[in-house]
Amino acid sequence: MSTGPTGVVVMAYGTPAHPDEIEAYYTHIRRGRPPTTEQLANLTARYDALGGTSTLAARTRDQVASITSAL
C-alpha cells in the first residue's frame, strides 16, 4: 500500500523574537491598541525575568525540526 505525503501543522500563539519587538507584539495581540506605559513595563519585566524573550519560538522551531526528521 502506498501512502501520500503527511502534513503536520505546528501552531504557537507567538512571541516577540527580540526585546525591542515587545511593544509591537503587544499592540498586535491587542488588535492594534497600544499598551499603556504600565502594561508595557509589566510585560517587559516578565520577559526580562525569562532572559529577555520567551523560549517559545526556539522550542517551536526545535519541534518542527524533530517532526521533520521523524517523518
Question: Is residue 41 assigned to a domain?
Answer: yes
Question: Is residue 36 assigned to a domain?
Answer: yes
Q: How far apart, in whole angstroms, are the C-alpha atoms of residue 3 and residue 8?
A: 15
Question: Is residue 4 assigned to a domain?
Answer: no
CB 27 within 8 A of CB 33: yes
The string of pLDDT tens digits covering residues 48-66 is 998 888 888 888 889 999 9
Confidence tier at 1 by pLDDT (50, 70, 90)? low
Distances in whole angstroms, Cα of residue 36 to Cα of each of 10, 20, 30, 39 = 32, 16, 11, 5
Question: Is residue 48 assigned to a domain?
Answer: yes
Domain that holds residue 45: 19-70
Q: How far apart, in whole angstroms, are the C-alpha atoms of residue 19 and residue 40?
A: 11
Question: Is residue 6 assigned to a domain?
Answer: no
Q: How far apart, in whole angstroms, are the C-alpha atoms of residue 54 and residue 68?
A: 23
Q: What is the mean pLDDT of the chain?
A: 89
Place of cell 526556539: 58
Question: What number is the average pLDDT over the span 4-20?
Answer: 85
